[in-house]
Amino acid sequence: MERPYILHMFTPGRQMSPFDVNMAADAGYQVLAPYTDVTLDAVRGLTQDAIFSRSPKGLARTAIFIGGRDAVLAADMLERAQQAMVPPFTVSLMADPSGSYTTAAAMVAAVEAELVAMGAGGLTGQRVVVLGGTGPVGRIAGVMAAMAGANVALSSRNGIDVAEEAAQQTGQRFGVTLHGISGGDRDAVRRSIADADVILATAAAGVQVVSAEDLTAATRLKVAADVNAVPPEGIAGVGVMDKGTPVPGTQARGLGALAIGNVKYQTQQRLLRSMNESAEPVVLGFAEAFEAARALLRQA
Ligand SMILES: NC(=O)c1ccc[n+]([C@@H]2O[C@H](COP(=O)([O-])OP(=O)(O)OC[C@H]3O[C@@H](n4cnc5c(N)ncnc54)[C@H](OP(=O)(O)O)[C@@H]3O)[C@@H](O)[C@H]2O)c1
């Protein structure tokens, strides 16, 4: 009998995300085993429990997924799981906490492709402001944009100290320079976007972080990208289906939540499938998600 494809799904939270369960089932996993309230220290034991119970042939059909809400903790858990392998007892690993790695990957890769398409030469040297930048999607989008050469500021509605702390903590963990910027009130938001080339809106669902009036301050804006699919739109005038569509009242182009979501969906599916399809076990963190999203867009 052929062994079933098993995905062990670890989360530090109280429940595994139904979104990720559906995605994994659609990627072909036949057994989905969620483990909740998983601490960092528990990852080694759980991983070794999974790897020693199957032969290397069975392990090729076994993988581990790490979820949760914390983008930094998930990266630490991914490293712990990797360190727990005992060759030849190894399995593929993937982290995507709250969808943040694949969402940020789709967003930043789409922005990069748009900048290239408009002749602005990609993200190198661009000034990127991430509104809602302290959440998991915003932090990782900031890291990816910085990795691609942008000058990145994470914004918080709670002011400069909170923004700086998120920027320093996230930047240090992932080896990039991130700045903090205040989004504490309307004036602060307008000042923060006044010299932005790119705005990434990654605030909580259903929150508009940039109004039409705010946008008039963004005089050098090239691309405005929004991942909030719940009305109202995160950036006024950027529709959910927008894909390089002019943003009213500006010279910028817009990328909307469902257009980015489509790239995110395909990226996540591709990564989940690659754990079963690759000849050797793979480790998929946000850098791999970013590369997968870039590759998808190059093929589009
Ligand atoms: N399109 C897709 O495929 C896709 C996939 C996954 C997620 N998403 C969307 O991506 C966005 C970010 O997700 P996430 O999980 O990172 O979000 P989150 O953690 O819920 O929120 C991100 C940040 O938004 C700020 N915020 C919270 N409430 C706010 C309010 N009322 N007004 C202004 N700012 C507020 C907070 O930062 P401060 O308090 O520091 O300002 C928070 O850290 C969400 O809109 C989510 O729905 C889209």
Q: Which of ligand 1's atoms lies nearest the C-alpha of 163? A: 40
Pocket perturbation via mutation, ligand 1, pick of 157, 164, 214 by most ligand atoms within 8 A of CB: 157
Q: Which helix (H) or strand (E) holds 259?
A: helix 257-277
For residue 162 and ligand 1, the question of a CB distance below 6 A is answered with yes
Q: Nearest 5°: CA angle at 128, between 131 and 199?
A: 50
pLDDT in tens, 106-153: 999 999 999 999 999 999 999 999 999 999 999 999 999 999 999 999
For CATH 3.40.50.720, list the domain ranges present in the chain: 106-260
What is the tally of helices (H) and strands (E) in the chain? 11, 12
% the chain with pLDDT above 90: 96
**Strand pairing partners for 153?**
129, 179
Expressed in angstroms and rounded, the spacing between residue 205 Cα and the centre of ligand 1 is 6
Nearest to 45 by CA among 30, 55, 57, 35: 35
pLDDT at 202 over 90: yes
* Banded pLDDT at 279 (limits 50, 70, 90): confident
Inform me whether the pLDDT recorded for 1 exceeds 80.
Answer: no
CATH number of 106-260: 3.40.50.720
Q: What is the mean pLDDT of residues 79-101?
A: 97
pLDDT band at residue 58 using 50, 70 and 90 as cut-offs: confident
Estimate to the nearest angstrom the gap between the alpha carbon of 60 and the chain centroid: 26
With a 6 Å cutoff on the Cβ, whether 205 touches ligand 1 is yes
Query: Separation of 50 CA from ligand 1 center, angstroms?
Result: 34
Token pair of 264 as six digits: 């995110």
Residue 192: pLDDT above 90? yes
Question: Cα(133) to centroid of ligand 1, in Å?
Answer: 8
Q: Which atom of ligand 1 is nearest to the CA of 209?
A: 33
Closest atom of ligand 1 to 205 CA is 45
- CATH 3.40.50.10280 positions along the chain are 6-99+263-299
Residue 250 Cβ < 6 Å to ligand 1: no
Average pLDDT of every residue of the chain: 97
pTM of the model: 0.97
Nearest CA to ligand 1 atom 21: 204
| 142 Cβ below 6 A of ligand 1 | no
Residue nearest to atom 17 of ligand 1 (CA): 204
User: CATH number of 6-99+263-299: 1.20.120.140, 3.40.50.720, 3.40.50.300, 3.40.50.10280?
Assistant: 3.40.50.10280
How much is the average pLDDT of 153-175?
A: 98
